[in-house]
Amino acid sequence: MLPSPALSPRDDAPRRERRKDARPGELLEAALALFVEKGFAATRMEEVAARAGVSKGTVFLYFPSKVELFKAVVRHNISGRFQEWNAEFDHFSGSSAQLLRYAMLSWWERVGATQASGISKLMMSEGGNFPEIAEFFQQEVVAPGHAILGRILHRGIERGEFRPVHIDHAVHGVVSTMIFLALSQHSASVCTASTQVLDPVAYLNEQADIVARGLAASPASPPSPEGRA
């Protein structure tokens, strides 16, 4: 008789324990859906539990408060992406205009096209009422996101591909196009006419082209004013 294969600790664990291990991800998925549907203030922990099919006590076992649950949702769906993005951009071999386009399209694929894009709408509508989550979002999403885009613009300037510009202002311009697209996913009738169909990829490609053309270096470009770049 052949010996039975060795079981890993997870394979040998009782079914109930393995189910418990899977719950944090299910809770985050349920919480994201409710935060996007109802907003931060209106979402209750018992609703998250019901959506995930667990008891309210199970939610508090993993997340001691709604604020901590929200932070975990943001880290899981948005801010956790920055490390992989930085690594990808470090090894990008194309032009800075191509890198900017790639960054915008990559954001769309990994965040904008997902339910997580609704977090932007939530923060704009409720962030002022909840200073703790607003500060958290600024530190974990806004600042790192702006830093990545700033790196791309600096790269272009240093390589002579982009003209010297005020980095912060240019970054805000790029972010505004992405925020508009995120909001349009959840408030389409407000952002666009009801008869208009917005193709997200075509829109981002067009915006990336507009930005790159505006940044393009030119022999006729005036000297950089003090404080720029």
Instruction: Give start-end residues of each CATH 1.10.357.10 domain in the chain.
Output: 9-75
Residue 220, Cβ density class (10 Å: 0-12 exposed, 13-18 middle, ≥19 buried): exposed
Q: How far apart are CA 102 and CA 174, in angstroms?
A: 13
| Continuous H helices in the chain | 9-12, 15-38, 45-52, 56-62, 66-77, 82-90, 96-107, 118-126, 131-137, 143-158, 167-186, 188-191, 200-215
pLDDT tens column, 195-218: 667 899 999 999 999 999 999 997
Q: How far apart are CA 57 and CA 218, in angstroms?
A: 62
pLDDT recorded at residue 172: 96
* Ramachandran region, residue 225 (left: φ > 0; alpha: ψ -120 to 50; beta: rest): beta
pLDDT recorded at residue 219: 56
Q: Whole-model pTM above 0.85?
A: no
- Closest Cα partner for 161 from 104, 225, 101? 101
Q: How many C-beta atoms lie closer than 10 Å to residue 206's C-beta?
A: 12
Residue 6 pLDDT greater than 70, yes or no: no
Do 180 and 191 contact (CB within 8 A), yes or no?
A: yes
pLDDT tens column, 10-66: 444 443 443 444 478 999 999 999 999 999 999 999 999 999 999 999 999 999 999
pLDDT recorded at residue 188: 58
Q: Which residue has the tokens 């076992």?
A: 61
The token pair at 93 is 């071999």
Class for domain 9-75, per CATH? Answer: mainly alpha
Percent of the chain scoring above 90 in pLDDT: 76
Architecture, CATH, for domain 78-215:
Orthogonal Bundle (1.10)
pLDDT tens column, 111-129: 999 999 999 999 999 999 9
